[in-house]
């Protein structure tokens, strides 16, 4: 029975030591971890915008009428007289 209690005690010590070690590492490296995450988020956002931008631009641009005719009527050949100012 004493051996089981000793094993559980050692496992408890190892677990608590791991938690304390991980917390200490995270606390000491928090600035580097935050910068790394910022860079990853920025890169993902830039890649997403860069990938979506050509499709967005194509759908936003109106179709130009052809030179032989289209939805817009042809321009007039002559204009009216000048306005006297």
For residue range 55-71, list pLDDT tens digits in order. Answer: 667 666 666 656 555 55
Residue-range domain boundaries for the chain: 2-53
Return the ∠ at Cα 56 (arms to 50 and 61), rounded to 5°: 130
The answer to whether the CB of 26 falls within 8 A of the CB of 33 is yes
Is the four-CA dihedral 21, 25, 27, 28 of positive or negative sign?
Answer: positive
- Output the pTM of the full model: 0.47
DSSP secondary-structure letter at 81? P
For residue range 13-56, list pLDDT tens digits in order. Answer: 999 999 999 999 999 999 999 999 999 999 999 888 887 777 66
Count how many Cα atoms sit within 13 Å of the Cα of residue 72 in the half-sphere of its side chain.
9
- Of how many residues is the chain composed? 85
């Amino acid at each position: 029975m004493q051996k089981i209690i000793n094993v559980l005690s050692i496992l408890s010590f190892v677990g608590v030591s791991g938690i304390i070690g991980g917390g200490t590492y995270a606390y000491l490296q928090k600035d580097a971890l935050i910068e790394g995450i910022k860079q990853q988020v920025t890169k993902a956002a830039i890649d997403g915008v860069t990938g979506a931008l050509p499709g967005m631009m194509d759908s936003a641009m109106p179709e130009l009428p052809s030179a032989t005719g289209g939805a817009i009527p042809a321009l007039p050949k002559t204009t009216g007289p000048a306005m006297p100012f």
